Amino acid sequence: GYSQTVSYNLIFTKEILKQVYLKENLNPPNLNQIQTAYLQWFKNSSSLQFWKSLIESGEWKRYGIYTLEAIGIFSIGEMIGRRHIVECFFTLFRRVI
C-alpha cells in the first residue's frame, strides 16, 4: 500500500543522492576548514572596517539572508522537536527581542 510507495521513494532518492555524492566527489568539511571559517568570521565581526565595507558593497543583504536561513532551520527543528508550531514562534521572538 502506501508504506511500500514511501519506502520505495526513499530508497530511490537515497541511491540517486549517493550517485550524485560520488560523481561530484562531495566531502564534508574537515575540522581544519571549520575552525578556519569560524576564526575568520570572529575576526571579521569585531572589525569596524569589515562592517563598513559590508554596508558599502551591499553584501549585508547576503549575510541577512544567511541569518534568516539559520533562524528558519532552527525554528523548523524546534517545531519538530516540540511538535508545536505557534508556541515555537513566540518563544523564538522572545529570545531575539
pLDDT of residue 14: 92
The domain ranges of the chain are 47-97
Are 90 and 84 spatial neighbours (Cβ–Cβ below 8 Å)?
no
Per-residue model confidence as pLDDT tens digits over 37-83: 999 989 988 899 998 998 999 999 998 999 999 988 888 887 787 77
State the pLDDT confidence band at 1, using cuts at 50, 70 and 90: low
pTM for this entry: 0.49
Q: Is 3 exposed, middle or buried (0-12, 13-18, 19+ CB in 10 A)?
A: exposed
